[in-house]
Structure 1
Amino acid sequence: MRVAPAIELTEEERTTLTKYSRGRNTPAKIVLRAKVILRAAEGLQNKVIAAELQTDPQFVCRWRTRFVKGRLKAIEKDAPRSGRKPCQKVVK
């Protein structure tokens, strides 16, 4: 049986994540990620977090792992996707 990585938050991280989770103008995907990390820091299991937030346990596992690797920057930005690169403007 795999054990989810433990998450310990600094006060600054906890404050920022709480702000994200309650933000009215924060994108919904960031709100959900912040809620996952806050509950994981409380020591809850992935299944319990997923049931509370009505999401998939794999989603919880993915974001817990990404947070451990990248901290707040991982929450704020999506992973790069495949596909066409954005056009660049030519300045004369």
Structure 2
Amino acid sequence: MWDVAGKSAEPIILSDRERAVLDRIARPGGGRQAMALRAGIVLLAAEGLSNRSISDRLLLEEHCVGRWRRRFAREGIWGLFDRPRSGAPRKNHGEGRYRR
């Protein structure tokens, strides 16, 4: 499958088990919003859609679609999880911000 600028998009072929897990994650209430979106990207890619078609359908940037498609192709479902970030853990600045 060819994608933008002549670059080849990673073909995605799902096993029945992978499809079942991704369907469960992608459905409303099935998981965190970010994971549900990533699962949806992979499911559409498995249907043969190009990165551009997926990005148009989900209102995302093409590079975002390509990132998750490539990570799934390399790492499977585990590639859709957030990776640890370097540096200090994030702080919740919103809590108690306007307390008096």
Tell me if TM exceeds 0.5.
yes
- Give the gaps of 5 or more residues in structure 1: 86-92
Structure 1 residue corresponding to 2:56, chosen from 41, 51, 57: 51
Counterpart in the other structure of 2:86 = 82
- Separation in 1, partners of 2:44, 2:10: 13
Matched, 1:70 2:75: yes
Which contiguous aligned blocks of 4+ residues in structure 1 show a shift greater than 4 angstroms? none
Normalised by the length of structure 2, the TM-score is 0.79
Contact 2:25–2:36 (8 Å) recurs in 1: yes
How far residue 26 of structure 1 moved from its aligned partner, in angstroms, is: 1.1
Matched, 1:5 2:10: yes
How far residue 25 of structure 1 moved from its aligned partner, in angstroms, is: 4.8
- Separation in 1, partners of 2:25, 2:58: 15
How far residue 23 of structure 1 moved from its aligned partner, in angstroms, is: 3.8
**3-state SS of paired residue (2:36):** helix
- Separation in 2, partners of 1:31, 1:84: 27
Contact 2:12–2:45 (8 Å) recurs in 1: yes
Alpha-carbon RMSD: 1.2
- Separation in 2, partners of 1:33, 1:41: 12
* Identity %, equivalent residues: 36
Normalised by the length of structure 1, the TM-score is 0.85
